[in-house]
Amino acid sequence: MTKITPVILSGGFGSRLWPLSRRERPKQFLPIFSGQSLFQKTCERVSSDLFRPPLIISNQDHRFLIGEQMAELGIDPQAIVLEPCGRNTAAPAALAALMALESDGNALVLLLPSDHLIADDGEFMCAVEAARTAAESGKIVTFGIEPSDPNTGYGYIKLCDGAEPVRKVERFVEKPDLATAQTFLANGNYLWNAGIFMYSAATMRDAFLKHAPDIWENVEAAHKNARKDLDFLRLDEDAFSQVRSISFDYAIMEKEEDVACVPTDPGWSDLGSWPAIWESMEKNDEGNSTLGEAIFEQSKNCLVYSEDALVSVVGLEDVMIVNTKDALLVAAKDKAQDVKKIVEQLDKANRPETVQHRRVYRPWGWSERISEGERFRVQSMLIKPGKGLTLQRHIHRAEHWIVVSGTLEVTIDGKDELISENQSVFVPLGARHKIQNPGKIPVRMIEVQSGAYIAEDDVLRV
């Protein structure tokens, strides 16, 4: 039996989940589900013997997050492919087929987003098995979610009449207004479009050559001229920038005549907004949910997320409170879609709060700003075993390092020194320096920067 190639798309931002979701660490990488992220849950879902190792398609900003989270799971991907720029979902669908065909002319592809929640993996695997037979016969198969309410945030799939486990699609429908969604729910033949697809790689190649040959040709060129970079495959920027930016639904699915759908109800949610997060969480008797410390008094159906403070909620209903270390959101639940308008305002003002958190992840570990003022900055740092910062110097600032745990190898102006727990070292202004973790456990340290100019661009790599 041909194993299925799972292709996981991981390029979105999730602006409606701000301030928790940000461009450098979007919602699919946030460990808010029993310590795991949605990306990790998706990888685990397709790690059985039914599947080949996963192929990850992402933008280049998240490459180290992907590598780190897959390493935590002990999953070795088939490849991590980096898109140099965003081109919607048609391009990765074509790329998935092209790369699968390289190893197997009969390859089957399961294309799925990395940021969806599926509560019932068993039900989902039953749907995959049902889709396999249809995909092997040459159909492009989509997964339709049986709707629980007249949701206006999802696109819909209208099925032809029948009761088979795999049914023919009559048409795809854009996100409706509430009255139309209520009609869809009453009709019974309309399902939510989950954006999950299964197809034969050869069938998909033929579909692109028929409906969107320009996309196939440009994706093929971008892949042909791709280059290896550590554990990643970087698509050629010139060729990929020529790819038309269009969704897979518009480019292929709405033009194909013989499309099938598997109706399923695996406890699915795209978790595209804070009310969707609230729906997925356990609640107290008054319908309140919390991640972090919170106290509720005379309040109902509220959500609290708090990273570093106790939140008290008094006399409120249907309110979302999201507290991160550098931003606070308070919003009515029925205005959740408008959170993205706040993000738009912040982007126009070039505010950093939409891009990164105080904790910034790097290939060597992470740094987290503790305090900052005129002529100083204090930050906590973690250096992974075997990793370090390259040789550099600063023109305007000196640095003081204090090791909290682990052992750090420090080089200052050519002199090597090992410093361990409760020891410190001073790096004078202008000194050439680098640090390395030679041990087997992470190094935790505090860095104090002081000088006339404290900014990231005061770094001269040597």
Convert the pLDDT of each residue in 72-103 to its tens digit.
888 889 889 999 888 888 999 999 999 999 88
Residue 124: the pLDDT is: 92
- State if pTM tops 0.85: no
For residues 359 and 415, the answer to whether their CB atoms sit within 8 Å is no
Which CA distances in Å does 196 have to 26, 89, 112, 118, 201? 20, 11, 5, 12, 15
359-461 has the same fold as 4-269: no
Residue 32: the pLDDT is: 81
Residue 448: the pLDDT is: 96
Which tens digits make up the pLDDT trace of 91-141?
999 999 999 998 888 889 999 999 898 989 899 999 999 999 999 988 999
Residues whose CB is less than 8 angstroms from the CB of residue 183 and which lie 6 or more positions away in sequence, other chains included: none
Residue 123: the pLDDT is: 92
Residue 349: the pLDDT is: 93
Which CA distances in Å does 324 have to 23, 36, 151? 15, 18, 29
Q: Which CATH number is 359-461's, of 2.60.120.10, 2.60.40.10, 1.10.3720.10, 3.40.50.180? A: 2.60.120.10
Which tokens hold the place of 287? 């319908």
Rounded Cα gap, residues 386 and 102, in angstroms = 35
For residues 168 and 259, the answer to whether their CB atoms sit within 8 Å is yes
Residue 9: the pLDDT is: 92
For residues 323 and 309, the answer to whether their CB atoms sit within 8 Å is yes
Does the N-terminal peptide bond of residue 19 adopt cis geometry, omega within 30 degrees of 0?
A: yes
Provide the 3-class DSSP secondary structure of residue 76.
coil
Question: What distance lies between CA 243 and its chain's CA centroid?
Answer: 22
**What is the percent of the chain with per-residue pLDDT over 90, rounded to a whole number?**
54
Question: What's 208's DSSP letter?
Answer: H
Rounded Cα gap, residues 315 and 137, in angstroms = 58
Nearest to 69 by CA among 16, 2, 8, 130: 8
**Residue ranges for the chain with pLDDT beneath 50:** none
Which tens digits make up the pLDDT trace of 411-438?
999 999 999 999 999 999 999 999 999 9
For residues 382 and 409, the answer to whether their CB atoms sit within 8 Å is no
Pairing of strands 319-323, 311-314: unpaired
Q: Spell out the CATH class of 4-269.
A: alpha beta
Q: Where are the chain's structural domains? A: 4-269, 274-348, 359-461
For residues 158 and 169, the answer to whether their CB atoms sit within 8 Å is yes
- CA 412, 414, 420, 423: dihedral to nearest 10 degrees? -40
Pairing of strands 79-83, 232-234: parallel
Residue 104: the pLDDT is: 84
Rounded Cα gap, residues 342 and 337, in angstroms = 10
Which tokens hold the place of 167? 């049914």
Rounded Cα gap, residues 408 and 423, in angstroms = 10
